[in-house]
Amino acid sequence: MSEPENVPPGVDLDKASPARLYDYYLGGKDNYPIDREAAERIRAVVPELEDIAWANRGFLQRAVHRLAALGIRQFIDVGAGLPTQNNTHQVAQAVDPAARVLYADNDPMVLAHARALLAGSPDTAAITADLREPEELLGQPAVRELIDFTQPVALLLVAVLHFIGDEDDPRGLIGRYLDALPPGSYLALSHGTADHQAPQALRVIDGVYSKATANAFFRTRDEIAGFFDGLELLPPHEGSAPGVAFSGDWGADDPESSDSDGSRWVYCGVARVP
């Protein structure tokens, strides 16, 4: 496990961070005691914590693979988090080695680790940026050098919008990103939900994230589905109707076996920009 003497510049050790908490949920090593203590408070009331994280991670990987199979060769992964197994560029470039991937996150630790991982890879880049500032993020030179905005792009907002409160207008933010993308682009999105979850668990999660570097704002299925308004949702799996699904269900070879307590904490979907 990383310890305080290894802290990159700009990292706040007085508060847990969503990126480092998620890293810990996935069994990673890029987290600190304050993150581990916070995560264990959640685990005490949400024993399926790792399942939640891995079900969401599986959605990301399956969504990227499906989009790459559909011919998408450019990906912007906003709120990418700390690098772990089978990252976006690895999934996309397994389909086409020339696929280009831009990672963005507002946590300085993410940039430090991502740059080390991506060193020597000309078709990937990582930037520090805030999801709430679409024009600034998309206007950064590294983005403009890597991404061709005349060609379709996949925008990945995976497990990040639940850190955006209503006062920051998440639907409006999505619209501002999509306005910059050409028709035929895609949005892949996942979001935590409080639907049917125990009030005690929700109180503990709220307490942990309210003291972290970002609060968590869980939303209902209908609210999450509303993020795709005006887009063409894909079916979560063969034989299903277009729509949102639990994270374990989307793209699963066997949706029944993929259903789990952890999966039911996250709704997700993939949609085409008409």
Which residue carries 């480092």 as its tokens?
A: 20
Lowest mean per-residue pLDDT among 110-124, 182-196, 210-224, 230-244: 110-124
pLDDT bucket at 121, cuts 50 / 70 / 90: confident
Cβ neighbours of residue 171 under 8 Å, at least 6 residues apart? 226, 227, 229
- Residue 1's pLDDT is 46
Cβ neighbours of residue 167 under 8 Å, at least 6 residues apart? none
| 10 has pLDDT over 80 | no
Amino acid letter for position 177: Y
Contact assessment for residue 30 and residue 109, using Cβ atoms and an 8 Å cutoff: yes
Q: What is the mean pLDDT of residues 170-185?
A: 98
CATH of domain 4-272: 3.40.50.150
Q: What is the mean pLDDT of residues 63-79?
A: 97
- For residues 186 and 65, give the distance between their C-alpha atoms in angstroms, rounded to a whole number: 13
Span 125-148, pLDDT tens digits: 999 999 999 999 999 999 999 999
pTM, to two decimals: 0.93
Span 142-157, pLDDT tens digits: 999 999 999 999 999 9
pLDDT bucket at 4, cuts 50 / 70 / 90: low
- Residue 188's pLDDT is 98
Span 225-274, pLDDT tens digits: 999 999 999 999 888 999 999 999 999 887 666 789 999 999 999 999 99
